Amino acid sequence: MSTDLSGPLAGHRIIDFTRLIAGPCAGDLLAAMGADVIKVEDVTGDPMRNARSRRVARGLTAPSFAAYNVHKRSVALDLKDPAGHAAALRLCDGADAVLSSFRPGVLERLGLGADVLRARNPRLVVARLSAFGESGPDRDRGGVDIVMQAESGLMAVTGEADGPPVKTGVPIIDAASGYVLALGVVSALLGRERGGHLREVTVSMLDVAVHLQAQPLAEYLDSRQEPERVGNQAPYAAPADVFPAADGALVLSAHLPQHWTRLCELLDRREWIDDPRFHDVGARVANREALSAALAEVLRTRPVGYWLDLFAAAGLTAGRIRTYREVVGDGTSAFVVDARDVDSSPIQVVRPPLRFPGWADDLLPRQIPRTGEHTGEVLGHTTKEAVA
């Protein structure tokens, strides 16, 4: 197989006006596919650069910033200043796409609305991310991950039955919104190449959060019954839960009829197959406490590794509950790549998940840019001249 050094989005320039997590995630994915992503920051920099960490205390960059910005160049501009505004327009004149995560109307007030930008560059794709969408009574509200989890109903169905609503352990709506925004940009670019005329992309974090729950919401729309919080269990399937083993815990999902029968046979509990409490998925859901207790009694007799090997050989789905240390190990995991901080000291980040066999993505530069480091390189003059 020949090796392609350019990447599928090579030759495309993206101007990234976003900050914090969701928008930068989109820009990072596009950069990881070979696009030239230019991060436009305020002269004070993206606030995420200084998120609390041991590295910031040593005068370096926060890992939270590095996570989604190691593949980009940085230009620093004061968008409210005439010179900075003019520089931003020139950047967009030569771009293929613009990313924004300002609240609706902010780009327009800055003189950088889609109409202005596309009048100067008709081929430009303008992609906007907001919390609650471009219209409606909540359009001017800001939103962060936990707010979107709350407003979308996700927290209401997360947690233990006798406990309060709980958010997920990571900012999943932020990241998912970035993925959807990147998908929208790639789709618009593809459409442009095929002669299409759709040049604007709008993504609402609330839309993303709701669509992530499309399957359980479809169940609700059919039954009109509010789902109960069931902890680690699956609301409509059993067994699907966390179970104890001799040396830890594992997750097991064997709710399909053929998987349930196979599990009973593997555990030498064939009598469960015809047990009226467990004979079909509806009965198992109704009697999930008895089912979980019966399974736990068997599974705690052997270590996790034993069960995983046994289940894998039989085609059952199960997994080990791993810590971050176990996932990334000593930093040599396939999930991790090496990068450089602003002072060229080493830092590690998670590798983007897209794989294109034949493309040497390991050759991508992974360097955290200083705020405005590439202003002169990109605009042809110094940062001071650009923002004065």
Query: Same CATH topology for 13-214+330-379 and 240-322?
Result: no
Superfamily of domain 13-214+330-379: Crotonobetainyl-coa:carnitine coa-transferase; domain 1 (3.40.50.10540)
Residue 297 CA: distances (Å) to CA of 130, 243, 274, 292, 300: 49, 9, 19, 9, 6
The pLDDT score that the predictor gives to residue 381 is 62
The pLDDT score that the predictor gives to residue 288 is 94
Sheet hosting strand 240-245, strand order edge to edge? 240-245, 248-253, 317-320
**Nearest-angstrom CA–CA distance, 92 and 113:** 11
**Nearest-angstrom CA–CA distance, 20 and 144:** 10
Catalytically annotated residue among 145, 174, 241, 341:
174
Compute the residue count for the chain.
388
The pLDDT score that the predictor gives to residue 388 is 43
End-to-end CA distance of the chain: 51
Domain ranges of the chain: 13-214+330-379, 240-322
* Token digits of residue 312: 């894998």
Q: Phi/psi zone of residue 8: left (φ > 0), alpha (ψ -120 to 50 degrees), beta?
A: alpha
The pLDDT score that the predictor gives to residue 356 is 85
Give Cβ neighbours of residue 174 (< 8 Å, ≥ 6 apart): 20, 21, 22, 25, 144, 145, 205
* Token digits of residue 288: 């999930």
Known catalytic membership, residue 309? no
The pLDDT score that the predictor gives to residue 4 is 58
Sheet hosting strand 125-130, strand order edge to edge? 73-76, 36-41, 13-16, 97-100, 125-130, 200-204
pLDDT tens for the 388 residues of the chain, in order = 445 557 899 999 999 999 999 999 999 999 999 999 999 999 999 999 999 888 998 889 999 999 999 999 999 999 999 999 999 999 999 999 999 999 999 999 999 999 999 999 999 999 999 999 999 999 999 999 999 999 999 999 999 999 999 999 999 999 999 999 999 999 999 999 999 888 999 999 999 999 999 999 999 999 999 999 999 999 889 999 999 999 999 999 999 999 999 999 999 999 999 999 999 999 999 999 999 999 999 999 999 999 999 999 999 999 999 999 999 988 788 999 999 999 999 999 999 998 888 877 776 789 999 999 999 999 986 444 444 4
**Nearest-angstrom CA–CA distance, 388 and 386:** 6
Domain 240-322 belongs to what topology?
formyl-coa transferase, domain 3 (3.30.1540)
- Asked whether 32 and 111 are in contact (CB, 8 A), the reply is no
